[in-house]
């Protein structure tokens, strides 16, 4: 949408200017426009290191379909913004004075616009490693589905949710996949659940390497696909990569891969936002912006929402929720704050994992092991019975705080549609769900979620039984 030409009252061009048009930025802008405020979004995705090579897009139908979906969604979004009355410019935004943002359009044209309130919703981008060859030869999640060839044998560096999701996705396409867990497996998630996910991946055929470090990535001789036909998922039409890995015991190993996917964390997109000129500080590690409970930065009229925030979970749902509430507080007089606890999260590995609330590690650290009881159970989804799939894959646990009537501190689910199952429990946790309430809930047969209404065994019991069994 073109920027408005109509004159505005007061010293500002806009009531609110949002830098970044992702989940959080769109939510705050649409809500504010709905409250009859004049709002502008600036959004520009600068190309990634690989993206700037402008490789021709000739991968599989799958990759084409994904791109097509993104484009369709983008067009729908533009229509939606227009209907909401939000102004949109495809441009980079940089704060240059207290209320002034410098807008740089794709063609290089610059102008300055003023807004009473500025919202930073610029999200984050994948990080690279300083390892030799990483920048030139590795790809990130932003590039994978635009690769000009099937990824072939792939090394995923990093055990984050993003890394595991991509590893399982590629493996599901029939590609050989190795995951180098640098530094850890699902950092920040419940570690016992993380181990179960890893076991599931290993049993499926994904290789995992622990405590190894990526030391170098080099290009070897180009290997052309001579078949003449369309490349299959397991074929690579480009040169292979020679990857040097330092193993846990200090040995140097060399292995061949077609693609190295870096999934080693993300850095907030704050580097070129001009925050220093308005006295807004960023965290030294990931460049994220500390905010108060009202999502306000060090400058009173500048707010931040979404994954650019420091020390807060990063999910799409949370960014949308926070953005919506922010607009209502600013322009409708609401007082409701965004709660950053009990945020449901999902890891979309083949065996889906969803969680809400504390991990076991967090619960034990906060309340002491003696006060924490963990109820757990395997379950067998109905649709798994006929094909006789493994009875001991799907698993749930409820972490409870004993002195507070076993209030549920955390719910963890590993199994098909775990995210969908979790949503209702996340709502119940907002209301202070207890184990007694779980027990008093009538199970819905034949559903998977009913396992939560019949949790009788605790981890302590299981451990005691195992100890006895081992005697």
What phi-psi label fits residue 31: left (phi over 0), alpha (psi between -120 and 50 degrees) or beta?
alpha
Among the listed residues 30, 113, 119, 122, the single contact to ligand FAD using CB under 6 A: 122
DSSP calls for 174-198: T--EEEEEEEEESTTS-HHHHHHHH
Radius of gyration of the chain (CA): 25
Alpha carbon of 401 to those of 175, 190, 437, 455, 462: distances in Å? 43, 16, 14, 15, 19
Residue 100 to residue 114: CA distance in whole angstroms: 4
Task: Report residue 330: phi and psi, to 5°.
Answer: -70, -40
Q: Is 450 in the site for ligand FAD (CB under 6 A)?
A: no
Residues in 367-426 that interact with ligand FAD by CB under 6 A: none
Nearer Cβ to ligand FAD (213/315): 315
Q: Is 21 in the site for ligand FAD (CB under 6 A)?
A: yes
Residue 120 to residue 22: CA distance in whole angstroms: 11
DSSP 8-state class, residue 238: S
Residue 460 to residue 174: CA distance in whole angstroms: 40
Q: Is 297 in the site for ligand FAD (CB under 6 A)?
A: no
Nearer Cβ to ligand FAD (147/245): 147
Residues in 84-113 that interact with ligand FAD by CB under 6 A: 92-93
Q: Is 316 in the site for ligand FAD (CB under 6 A)?
A: yes
Q: Which stretch binds ligand FAD (CB under 6 A): 76-84, 308-316, 329-337, 366-374?
A: 308-316
Q: Is 123 in the site for ligand FAD (CB under 6 A)?
A: yes
Q: Is 287 in the site for ligand FAD (CB under 6 A)?
A: no
Size of the site for ligand FAD (CB under 6 A): 30
Q: Which tokens in the block code for residue 328?
A: 């209502």
Residue 111 to residue 398: CA distance in whole angstroms: 54
**In angstroms, what is the minimal distance from the CB of 251 to ligand FAD?**
32
Q: Which stretch binds ligand FAD (CB under 6 A): 312-320, 329-337, 357-365, 455-463?
A: 312-320
**In angstroms, what is the minimal distance from the CB of 394 to ligand FAD?**
20
Question: Are the C-beta atoms of 365 and 385 separated by less than 8 Å?
Answer: no
Residue 75 to residue 88: CA distance in whole angstroms: 13
Q: Is 314 in the site for ligand FAD (CB under 6 A)?
A: yes
Nearer Cβ to ligand FAD (156/363): 156
Q: Is 19 in the site for ligand FAD (CB under 6 A)?
A: yes
Q: Which stretch binds ligand FAD (CB under 6 A): 20-28, 65-73, 143-151, 431-439?
A: 20-28
**In angstroms, what is the minimal distance from the CB of 186 to ligand FAD?**
14
Residues in 328-367 that interact with ligand FAD by CB under 6 A: 346, 348
Q: How far is CA 421 from the centre of its chain?
A: 19
Place of tokens 């969680």: 355
Task: Report residue 45: phi and psi, to 5°.
Answer: -95, 110
Alpha carbon of 355 to those of 190, 310, 398, 423: distances in Å? 9, 21, 10, 9
Q: How far is CA 147 from the centre of its chain?
A: 21
Q: Which stretch binds ligand FAD (CB under 6 A): 23-31, 60-68, 204-212, 356-364?
A: 23-31
Q: Is 319 in the site for ligand FAD (CB under 6 A)?
A: yes
**In angstroms, what is the minimal distance from the CB of 395 to ligand FAD?**
20
Q: Is 121 in the site for ligand FAD (CB under 6 A)?
A: yes
Positions in the binding site for ligand FAD (CB under 6 A) = 19-25, 42-45, 92-93, 121-123, 141, 162, 269, 273, 306-308, 314-317, 319, 346, 348
């Amino acid at each position: 949408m073109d920027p408005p030409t109509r004159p505005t009252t007061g010293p500002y061009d806009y009531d609110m200017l949002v830098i970044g048009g992702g989940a959080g930025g769109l939510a705050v802008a649409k809500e504010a426009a709905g409250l009859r405020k004049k709002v502008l979004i600036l959004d520009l995705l600068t190309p990634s290191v690989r993206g700037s090579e402008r490789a021709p897009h000739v991968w599989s139908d799958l990759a084409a379909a994904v791109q097509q979906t993104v484009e369709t969604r983008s067009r729908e979004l533009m229509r939606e913004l227009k209907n909401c009355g939000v102004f949109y410019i495809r441009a980079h935004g940089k704060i240059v004075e207290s209320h002034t943002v410098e807008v740089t359009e794709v063609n290089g044209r610059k102008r300055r616009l003023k807004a009473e309130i500025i919202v930073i919703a610029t999200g984050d981008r994948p990080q690279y490693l300083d390892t030799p060859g990483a920048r030139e030869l590795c790809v990130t999640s932003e590039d994978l589905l635009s690769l000009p060839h099937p990824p072939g044998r792939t090394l995923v560096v990093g055990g984050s949710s993003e890394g595991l999701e991509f590893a399982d996705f590629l493996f599901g396409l029939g590609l050989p996949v190795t995951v180098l867990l640098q530094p850890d497996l699902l950092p920040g998630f419940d570690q016992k659940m993380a181990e179960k996910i890893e076991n599931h991946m290993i049993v499926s055929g994904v290789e995992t390497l622990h405590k190894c470090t990526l030391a170098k990535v080099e290009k070897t001789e180009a290997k052309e696909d001579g078949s003449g036909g369309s490349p299959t998922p397991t074929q690579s039409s480009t040169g292979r990569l020679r990857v040097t890995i330092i193993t846990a015991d200090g040995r140097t190993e060399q292995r061949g891969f077609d693609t190295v996917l870096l999934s080693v964390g993300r850095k907030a997109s704050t580097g070129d936002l001009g925050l220093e000129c308005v006295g807004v500080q960023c965290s030294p590690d990931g460049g994220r912006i500390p905010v108060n409970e009202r999502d306000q930065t060090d400058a009173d009229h500048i707010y931040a929402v979404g994954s650019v925030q420091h020390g807060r979970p990063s999910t799409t749902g949370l960014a949308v929720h926070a953005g919506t509430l922010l607009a209502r507080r600013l322009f409708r007089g609401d007082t409701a704050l965004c709660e950053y606890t009990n945020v449901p999260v999902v890891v979309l590995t083949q065996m889906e994992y969803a969680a809400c609330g504390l991990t076991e590690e967090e619960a034990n650290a906060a309340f002491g092991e003696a006060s924490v009881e963990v109820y757990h159970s395997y379950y067998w989804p109905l649709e798994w019975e006929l094909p006789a799939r493994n009875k001991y894959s799907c698993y749930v646990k409820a972490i409870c705080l004993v002195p507070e009537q076993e209030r549920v501190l955390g719910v963890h689910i590993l199994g098909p549609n775990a995210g969908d199952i979790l949503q209702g429990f996340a709502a119940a946790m907002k209301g202070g769900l207890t184990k007694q309430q779980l027990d008093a809930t009538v199970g819905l047969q034949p559903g998977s979620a009913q396992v939560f209404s019949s949790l009788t065994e605790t981890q302590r019991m299981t451990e005691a039984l195992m100890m006895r069994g081992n005697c």
